[in-house]
Amino acid sequence: MSRYGWSLNREQSSPYGSVSGRMPAVTDDDFSYITSRDLDAGERHYPRRRSTPEDDILILKNKGATYPANFPAYSIGDGKLRVNDVRDRIGLLMGLSDRATRRIKLLYKGKQLKEPAAAVRDYGVKNRSELMAVLPEAAPDDAVIADVSPDDAKSRRRKKKKSGKKRDSKGEGDSASSPCDAPRAGSSSGPMKRIEELHDEFVAKWLPLCTQYTASPPSDPKTRDEEHRRLSESILQSILLKLDGVDTEGIPEVRARRKELVNQVQGVLKALDAAKAS
């Protein structure tokens, strides 16, 4: 026995002496495999982080058509997206002119987004909210200008100026009792007639539906909310927005009549809100 307590014999000291030069036997049990199920489980417990955040999206609707509009990520929640930005985007998507884009009216849950510089977040708009875009009716002046050349448009403006001068020169010799009252009385017929038409439409078409809703709101919460939104947005688009577009021409009677109808419609909308919350 050696001084270190173990033999110096090679055959006895070598731990590999029994192998005798052959490779060890290896089976499938010596390996472990990662299956697709293991990968799915790992994905659930440790989801991959997205390299870039997703864009904010608003669903813009107009006359049954839907326009998904993408905006920078978190711009809605951070209050950076303005009403004017959304208006410009839908004008771009629909190929509108700058003038028509500025006249677009945006609605969210029956309320109009009036302030162009205000953040859409201030009106309760969130990522993936649905907004209604109301486009202005085609202006007759725009259609005329679009059909004529620039030279023809200039000549028409010159003729208007000349005719205006002739009228002024003829009116100088008339008495002071008739120059202002007659045109003003005639001009009030157009705006006042339009207001009365909107009043008749509201009373005949929308008021019965609102009365039925307030008297007996749907018991199902989802149906109640959808019916409330449909009525509110329809009245806002069909009556209030059109009333807002009526030019009173500074006539007190027309202005008072329009205000009276606006208050009546707003009172019905408040009754709808109360019935929905009940």
Q: What single string gives the DSSP state of each residue in 24-88? A: PP--GGG-----HHHHHHHHHHSPPPPSSPPPEEEEEEETTEEEEEEE-TTTTTTT--BHHHHHH
pLDDT in tens, 150-179: 455 445 555 555 555 555 544 444 444 444
191-277 and 56-134 share a CATH fold = no
- So what CATH class is 56-134? alpha beta
Is the model's pTM score more than 0.75? no
CA distance 122 to 17: 83
CATH number, span 191-277? 1.20.58
Domain boundaries, the chain: 56-134, 191-277
pLDDT in tens, 217-267: 999 999 998 898 888 888 888 888 888 888 888 899 999 999 999 899 989
SS3 119: strand
CA distances from 216 to 135, 168, 202, 204, 269 (A): 33, 62, 20, 19, 15
**Res. 206 pLDDT band, cuts 50 70 90:** very high
CA distance 216 to 199: 24
Closest CA to 58 of 77, 43, 44: 77
CA-based end-to-end distance of the chain: 101
Would you state the pLDDT for residue 177?
Answer: 42
| Mode of pairing for the β-strands spanning 56-62 and 65-71 | antiparallel
Tokens in use for 263? 């208050």
CA distance 251 to 258: 11
Place of tokens 């771009």: 92
